[in-house]
Amino acid sequence: MLRSRLLDERMWVLNRQGRAPFWISGMGHEAVQVAFGMNLRPGYDWVAPYYRDLALTLVLGMTPKDHLLSVLAKADDPNSGGCQMPAHYGCHRFNIITTGSPVGTQLLHAAGIALASRMRGEDAVTFTSCGEGGTSEGDFHEALNFAATHRLAVIFVIENNGFAISVPWEKQMPIPNVADRAVAYGVPGLVVDGEDPMACYRIARDAVAHARSGEGPVLVEAKVLRLTSHSSDDDQRRYRDSEELEAEKQRDSLLKFRAQLVDLGVLNEADADAMRAELMHELDSAEEEAENAPLPDPSTAMRHVLADEEG
């Protein structure tokens, strides 16, 4: 969680320095992403993420350098060789499929991948996610209906931070929970406090076990925080109350989990500070290496746009 947070903060700095064109943050979403990442089998299970899933990709095995290569559009970027927008994840090694910009399309891809896994006789689980705004897209309903009808091993995780850019959740839906929709498809609908890492871990463990055992899809809604503006091109202070923003900072899962671990005697303040310093050193080294990495050759700009001999 801390590695993701520090990397996320560094991406914002790079953007504000004019070195990165764009960034869209996952701050406040880390707990549920880490929980599911710890319960998936990297390279066997499939992941169709959305743009805030930085922490998830790190748990699955991607590195800070991988992501810095991407945001700086370098040739060795594992997401796309420097062609994709930042935060559009994809990595063959870990079965992370390439993210598209249209909201919600990854949900349909996940349903199709899960069907393919079944046809191959595999017990692989397919994880996919979006924000609550993404559930207003028809793709969400089509994917959930298809997965439910065919009892596919798909875990749909809705990271509900309360805002679809500037639109609050109560102006997006007439119900208090996205998970309430699950009953219409005959699948379990679960709600979890996305700022409680232990609760997230338990629900992730159970959801993965349910899907892998052949019981069909699960819809999980994590109530998370959006601790930054929608993206580097947005300023949420224009439409959110300053007192609300300050109160949310106090509910941050990283702060609460650190305090919890200290209280339990699992962690002390000195070790926590040392961990942060070690991660900062890792991040500084990764940034330097990514900054010095080569840019893509212009001749590769059209590679992988269409199927070719290189795949």
Domain membership of residue 302 (yes or no) is: no
Q: Which residues pair with 220 in a beta bridge?
A: 157, 190
Q: State how far the Cα of 155 lies from the Cα of 274, in Å rounded to an integer.
A: 36
Domain membership of residue 147 (yes or no) is: yes
Domain membership of residue 148 (yes or no) is: yes
Extract the tokens encoding 124: 């692989």
- Which position has the token pair 């990854």? 106
Total number of residues shown for the chain: 311
Task: For residue 263, give its domain range.
Answer: 2-292
3-state helix, strand, coil in the chain (%, to 5): 50, 10, 40
- Which position has the token pair 């947070």? 5
> pLDDT value at position 103?
95
Domain membership of residue 309 (yes or no) is: no
Q: Which residues pair with 127 in a beta bridge?
A: 47, 155
CB 216 within 8 A of CB 151: yes
Domain membership of residue 306 (yes or no) is: no
Q: State how far the Cα of 150 lies from the Cα of 110, in Å rounded to an integer.
A: 13
Domain membership of residue 183 (yes or no) is: yes
How many domains in the chain? 1
| Active site (annotated) includes residue 303 | no
Q: Which of 3, 52, 230, 258 does the annotation list as catalytic?
A: 230
- Which position has the token pair 């503006």? 229
Q: Which of 5, 29, 67, 226 does the annotation list as catalytic?
A: 226
| Active site (annotated) includes residue 230 | yes
> pLDDT value at position 306?
78
Tell me whether strands 163-164 and 167-168 are parallel, antiparallel or unpaired. antiparallel
Q: Following DSSP, what letter does each residue of 124-192 receive, concatenated?
A: --EEEEEEGGGGGSHHHHHHHHHHHHTT--EEEEEEE-SEETTEEGGGT-SSS-GGGGGGGGTS-EEEE
> pLDDT value at position 311?
47
pLDDT tens over the chain, length 311 residues: 999 999 999 999 999 999 999 999 999 999 999 999 999 999 999 999 999 999 999 999 999 999 999 999 999 999 899 998 999 999 999 999 998 899 999 999 999 999 999 999 999 999 999 999 999 999 999 999 999 999 999 999 999 999 999 999 999 999 999 999 999 999 999 999 999 999 999 999 999 999 999 999 999 999 999 999 999 999 999 999 999 999 999 999 999 999 999 999 999 999 999 999 999 999 999 999 999 999 999 998 888 777 765 54
List, in order, residues 6 or more apart from 291 with CB less than 8 Å away: 68, 72
Instruction: Dump pLDDT digits (tens) for 152-162.
Output: 999 999 999 99
Q: State how far the Cα of 311 lies from the Cα of 309, in Å rounded to an integer.
A: 5
CATH of the domain at 53: 3.40.50.970
Q: State how far the Cα of 273 lies from the Cα of 265, in Å rounded to an integer.
A: 15
Q: State how far the Cα of 107 lies from the Cα of 155, in Å rounded to an integer.
A: 10
Cα-based torsion angle of the residue sequence 147, 107, 187, 28 in order, rounded to the nearest 10 degrees: 160
> pLDDT value at position 112?
99
Q: What angle do CA 197, 286, 89 make, to 5 degrees?
A: 60
| Active site (annotated) includes residue 226 | yes
The backbone torsions φ and ψ at residue 168, rounded to the nearest 5 degrees and listed phi first, read -70, 155
Q: Which of 239, 240, 251, 303 does the annotation list as catalytic?
A: 239
> pLDDT value at position 197?
98
- H-run or E-run covering 68: helix 64-71
Instruction: Dump pLDDT digits (tens) for 203-230.
Output: 999 999 999 999 999 999 999 999 999 9
Helix (H, G, I), strand (E, B) or coil at 306: coil
Domain membership of residue 307 (yes or no) is: no
Domain membership of residue 300 (yes or no) is: no
